[in-house]
Amino acid sequence: MNTGTEFQDYLSTAAEMLDAEGMHDASSLLRRAEYRVDETGYDNWDGGTTIWTIYLFVEPAEFSRLSTQREVLEEQINQRLKPVLEQSTRDWYGVKIAPKVEPRPDWRLRGGEVSRPTRQKIIDGLRIEKTNWSGTLGDVEFLGRLYDLAKMPSGDSRFKDAAGDIWQHRINNEDWDDDWVYSDDRFKLLDGSSESFLRFLCEMVNPVVRPDRNESLKLVGHINDQLRREGWLLVEEEKIAGRPKYVARRANSTDRSVSRARSVADALDAGWMQKEIERLEHAVERDPALAIGTAKELVETCWKSILTKRGVPITKGMDLPDLTKLLAKELKLVPEGITDAAKGAETIRLILRNLAALTQYLAELRGLYGSGHGRDGKHRGLEPRHARLAVGAAVAFIDFVTATHNRRAESPVTDPGGLNKTQ
């Protein structure tokens, strides 16, 4: 049996089968992973059988994030490859997801550094989108906010410093490309310190540089898609004239939840959700009571957005539990649709029941400790750790419900709760 380039035909067939059955995580991994087929054993039974292992290589960070899900994905891919391979061979094949091993020149950098490959991906994205890195400012004015251009050398002998050099070639002659700064050795965006690189990114979305809030949010989203893989995020620190000013900081669990909530709000085109997310982001550490109240309001806004998009009338005076029941019925989240024959059916039922009850718990928690209620002088509120729990739980439910809403919009309902019974 050919285990070279023709093996891609077997993998591509399995990927189509996975897509058809709704196993998109496994299909996506199979399509993007590099692969190698190795002979890893031999069984003498029944005339002899060669044993092969199909290694699917992913980036080390992704390998770690998959954690226990790796076994599930391996089994899903194995089960689809089996009928494909049986047509051509009696050999045994097994799938193994493995971390990609390749040269990493900057691996000795201290923890927290933004690696060169990640910087390159960010810069490539800016180039593809033709992003004007200096925004509404000129190149000299923008860079002058970050560097002392008068003390940096000129590449043109006619000028004594970088400021004159940049002015000559960007304003006077206009003979430098718009993306010249990324490859200029004076600024070392690819190979300099992480601090300098992150400051450059933050300045790109500064309200003075980029006053359009929506444009900044979109750009921050693209940048964070790459930075979070190395444990960094651009997060809002304060507002200038009502517009967010960003700083770079190490990501924590709340940052990841907030980032996911922003993606959901973008997908639903829910502007009011974005405002609640901004309020929640700042309140978790500084005002846990406000964060708990906002988590409940965020769920309520999400429910109303989805019901409105699906044309479901909302009766005046409906509270959060009422909205949850209405949404569960509309999206068919009710776990009774899962058959007893499905693997782990009872566990799935319990998860869905608890998710549905989450909104009631949030409403009760808000009433006990959240914002919006007067307190006596001896009242002691909850701590940030409790707020992080409420926020994480709320975003998990929002993510699940929104994904189910999107799935229902794409295809007919065949698997109540958004869970294919073959998975």
Of 99, 132, 152, the last residue of a domain is 99
Domain limits for position 16: 7-99
| Same domain flag for 206 and 159 | yes
Would residue 267 count as lying in a domain? no
In contact, 345 and 420? CB cutoff 8 Å: no
| Same domain flag for 215 and 300 | no
| Same domain flag for 159 and 91 | no
| Same domain flag for 120 and 246 | yes
| Same domain flag for 321 and 350 | yes
**pLDDT, position 193:** 87
Residue 345 to residue 322: CA distance in whole angstroms: 26
From first to last of its 423 residues, the chain has per-residue pLDDT tens of 444 556 888 999 999 999 999 888 899 899 889 999 999 888 877 677 899 999 999 988 788 878 778 888 999 999 999 999 988 888 889 999 999 998 766 565 445 688 899 999 999 999 999 999 999 999 999 999 999 999 999 888 888 999 999 999 999 888 899 999 999 999 999 988 888 999 999 999 999 999 988 888 889 888 988 888 788 888 877 777 777 788 888 766 566 666 667 667 766 766 667 777 777 766 776 777 788 888 888 888 888 888 998 999 998 888 878 888 888 888 877 555 555 545 555 666 676 667 667 656 766 766 666 544 444 444 455 677 777 888 888 888 888 888 888 877 765 544 444 444 333
* Residue indicated by tokens 């909205």: 323
Q: Is beta strand 243-250 parallel, antiparallel or unpaired with respect to 34-43?
A: unpaired
Would residue 403 count as lying in a domain? yes
| Same domain flag for 310 and 219 | no
| Same domain flag for 186 and 135 | yes
Residue 402 to residue 331: CA distance in whole angstroms: 10
CATH of the domain at 11: 3.30.300
Residue 402 to residue 159: CA distance in whole angstroms: 57
Of 251, 268, 300, the last residue of a domain is 251
Of 99, 132, 163, the last residue of a domain is 99
* Residues 6 or more apart in contact with residue 390 via CB below 8 angstroms: 291, 292, 295, 296, 362, 365
Would residue 172 count as lying in a domain? yes
pTM score, whole prediction? 0.48
Per-residue burial over 66-98, b if 16 or more Cβ lie within 10 Å, else e, is: beeebeebbebbbbbbeebbeeeeebbbbbebb
**pLDDT, position 391:** 81
| Same domain flag for 94 and 124 | no
**Residue 41's beta-bridge partner residues?**
51
Would residue 72 count as lying in a domain? yes
| Same domain flag for 347 and 412 | yes
Residue 246 to residue 201: CA distance in whole angstroms: 9
Would residue 106 count as lying in a domain? no
| Same domain flag for 79 and 189 | no
| Same domain flag for 324 and 207 | no
Would residue 221 count as lying in a domain? yes
pLDDT in tens, 283-305: 776 777 788 888 888 888 888 88
Would residue 111 count as lying in a domain? no
**pLDDT, position 257:** 67
* Residue indicated by tokens 């300045």: 203
Residue 404 to residue 398: CA distance in whole angstroms: 10
Number of domains within the chain? 3
| Same domain flag for 120 and 226 | yes
Would residue 280 count as lying in a domain? no
**pLDDT, position 54:** 93
Give the count of alpha carbons within 13 A of 320, CB side only: 23
In contact, 266 and 221? CB cutoff 8 Å: yes
